[in-house]
Structure formats: structure tokens, C-alpha cells
Amino acid sequence: MRSPFLSSNVMVMASACAGLLSITIVGIDEGSLLATWLLSLLFLAAGTLLLLPEQANTGRSNEVLRLFYAASGFRVAAAVACHFWLNAANGSPYWNWAAEGGDEKWFYDYAGSLVTAWQTHDTDAMRASWDSQWAYYAWLVPLACIRYLGSLLEGDTVFNVKLLSCFFSALVVPYVFRLALWCFDLRTARVAALVAFLLPDFWFFGACLLRDVAIACLTAMVLCEVVAGSREKLNYWRLAWATLLNFGAILYLRLELAFLLFGICCAWLVAERLSRPARLLKLVPPVSVVILACLLVPYTREYIFMQLESLLAPERLAYRSNINIESGIEQAAAGSFGAAVLALPPAVRLPLQLGHSLLQLPTWAAINSYGCVPLALAGSLADTLWLGFVIFLPGGFLGCLAQARRRTLWVWGTAAVLLLALAYAAAIMPRWRLMVMPCLVILVAHGMLLRRFRKLALGSALAIGLLLAIYLHLKY
């Protein structure tokens, strides 16, 4: 790709126009123009501050920032379009994953209760909210801050809170570019950024109040900072920043992922340095500091041990065999195909669950049951379009294994571990797959550029079509 289309002047200007027009329309419609504008500018400033240091490290600060600006305006425009669509179709701005707004409404209302506790200085309510909802705090607190600012400016609206998801869904594009640039080359990085920009999942979940797109972005950020901080010469500031993101944010969004990411990063750092013992010894100080910080501080030590005990409890592990949902929309009856798969022996069930977690076969039949509601239509469309990208995934994996497997371990190795974790947990809702998406997007881009695997992509397309036909026959 000689011309970086996504970061071109035309795309940045078009994105700016789309974003400004959309923000103005929704701000006027909801009577929150000042608050909406101010929050949009704050998110643009936050993204700029996060990405500016890349000038000294990759020499491509300008392109990285342009990717963020190009993605931001279009993400906001899509969120505005979905917002009006939801209001017209559902009578509310929520996608309705469950009754009466589901998790989205719960996040919005709970953030409002935090705002009330802050305004009234109710320390008991603050402490009770932490004790009961600590696992969501890295999402609830930013939502509450947005609502608090909105209440000061008389612009406390659901759309303004959705801007947080827009921010993360735009920020993931330059971080995918960065990770691909560190592990592959500029050509692959530009294609990966374009795929991340086009990926339906980021458009869809960037227009709702669920935390999954934030988890995907933070995962990409952690991997980027660890890779950038460990190549050639250790950069302890970058490693410290990655540790803070992991144990200060991801831990309070998805507990299991935080510990899994820490183990993955430690394993890959060791794997990269096995042939050079002197470089391997340099990892001892930073890893020791993190472990000691967890063990020596009494509250931290007790908290982590308590959560690990909960995580490894038999009833928590048994959750994987009690899932009764086949997709994000359809419910699995006791005698359904999905329930039959979960009853199979682990050696048979895990590969099937891995394939289902990766492919997320479209659920167009749900539209017949639920009607042409936004959730059913958007979810089915996103899953269908993802199948067009996933056919390049086998070629991307094999291309990494065929050459530079150690350098690209951060991408293909992380994707493999996280996908196996999803399969083990029977994580079958499409949004749970987002935490792996930054790595999958890069592998898809790599597979697109490898001509020797074009026939493999065609074979993958035929295999997916056959699997889809068998699945629909068995299920319906």
C-alpha cells in the first residue's frame, strides 16, 4: 500500500465533517449541544495525548494521529445514526440485550447513582458500590464522570455517555496499526488499520454502552506497550504503563483477562530472550516489582488472593457447562443443538466451541422470531461480514509460523491463547470475542497480503459455507 488511504487528507477531512455534523445534530435534538461538543473535544484531546509520544518511537506520529482522527468522526457519525434508529425502533436508546435496556441501562443508571453519591458526599454509598460492583469499576467510574459533567452543563444524556465507546472504538485503530508495525511491517500495519476501521464489530459495539470495545482497546494498548518497551533495550516506563493499564483498568473490567494477559506477556518476554540469557536476566527487576507490589501490600494481597480463589472455585469453573445461550440473540432450549454440543466430552466439545467462538455463525433466523429489530439485524449483519474477513485467518496464522514466528508471537500466540480461553469458558456471545479482535485483525491483514495462501483462503470460504449449511440443518 503505497498510499495510506485511511490516513489521507481526504479521509481525515471527511471524518471531521461527518463527526461535526453528527454531533451538532444530536446535540440540538437532545438539547445538550455544549456538553456533547465539550465531551467530544475532551476525547479527541485524550487520544492525541496518548498517541503523540509515538513520534519518538516509531517516527510515524503523524500517521498514527491521522488514523485516530479519521476513525473518530466516522465512529461518532455511526453512533448518532444508530442512536436515532434505536429511538425510532425501540422507543429507547438501548439495543435491548435483555428486558428494559439490559446491561446498557443498568450501567447508565448505576453511573447515575454514583454521581448522586458524589454530589451528596455519601461515603457509605460509595463504599457499598465498590464492594458490590468492583468488577465493573473501570467502566462505571468513567461513565459516572461523563454523567457528572453532563449534569453540570445540563446535558446528561445517554448519547453523551456512548461517546466513551466511540472513543475506544476509534482508538483501537491506531493501536492495531502500532502493534502490527512492531511485529510485522508498514504494509501489514496499514492493511490491519484499514481492517480494524471496517470491522463491523467495532462499529456495532462502539455505538452501545457495553464495556467490551474498551476491553479490546486496552488489550491492544497493553500488548503495544509491552512490545515497544521490550524490543532491543528495555523501557521500564512503558512496561510500568502497561502494568498500570492491565491491573488498574482491565482488572476492573474483566478479572480473568488481566491475569491471563500478565501471564501471556511474561511468557512471550521469556520466549523472545531464551537465546540471549543476559537479556532474559533484565526481566527480573520489573517482574519482581509487580509481584512484590501484589504480595507486600496487605490489602492488595488479600484482594487478589480472594479474587483468584473465586475465579478458581468449582462453581465458577462449572459455569462453562451451564451456558444456555447459543448466540447473543437466540436462547438454546434444553434439547437444542447448542445444548447437545455442551453435553459432549471435552475433547470433542472444545474444538467445536473454539470454532463457534471464532466464527460466530450469523443468526438471521432470529429475525423471524424477534422481528426486524435493531439488535437482531445489526448483530446478524456484523457476524455475516466477519465471515468475509475470517477466511484469511488461516493464511495469517500459517504465515507467522512459517517465518519470524518469534517476532510475531505477540500476535498469533496471544490470539491462540485467548481463543482457547474463550472455548474453555464456552464464551459464545459475539461481544466476548472482541478482546481477541486486535490480534485477529492483524492476522487477517497478514493473510490478505500473502499470495501463496490465496487458495487456502478460497478453501476456508468453502469450508465455512459447508459448516454453515450443516449447522443450519442440524439446528433448524
The string of pLDDT tens digits covering residues 188-245 is: 999 999 999 999 889 988 899 999 999 999 999 999 999 988 876 778 888 889 988 9
Q: What percentage of the chain has pLDDT greater than the value 70?
A: 76
Write the CB contacts of 394 (distance below 8 Å, at least 6 apart in sequence).
447, 453, 456, 457, 460
Q: What is the pTM of this model?
A: 0.86
Q: Tell me if 288 sits within 8 A of 294, measured CB to CB.
A: no
Query: pLDDT tens digits, residue range 11-64?
Result: 889 999 999 999 999 999 988 899 999 999 999 999 999 998 775 555 555 888
Q: What is the pLDDT at residue 318?
A: 34
- Alpha-carbon distance of 157 to 19, in angstroms, equals 18
DSSP secondary-structure letter at 99?
A: G
Residue 334: per-residue pLDDT: 54
d(CA 187, CA 2): 8
Comparing CA positions, the residue from 229, 183, 233 lying closest to residue 244 is 229
Q: Which three cell numbers stand for residue 454?
A: 490465496
Pick left, alpha or beta for residue 332 (phi over 0 → left; psi -120 to 50 → alpha; otherwise beta).
beta
Cell representation of residue 352: 467445536
> What is residue 476's predicted lDDT score, i.e. its pLDDT?
57
The three cell numbers of residue 274 are: 531464551
The set of cell numbers assigned to 135 is 468488577
Confidence tier at 313 by pLDDT (50, 70, 90): very low
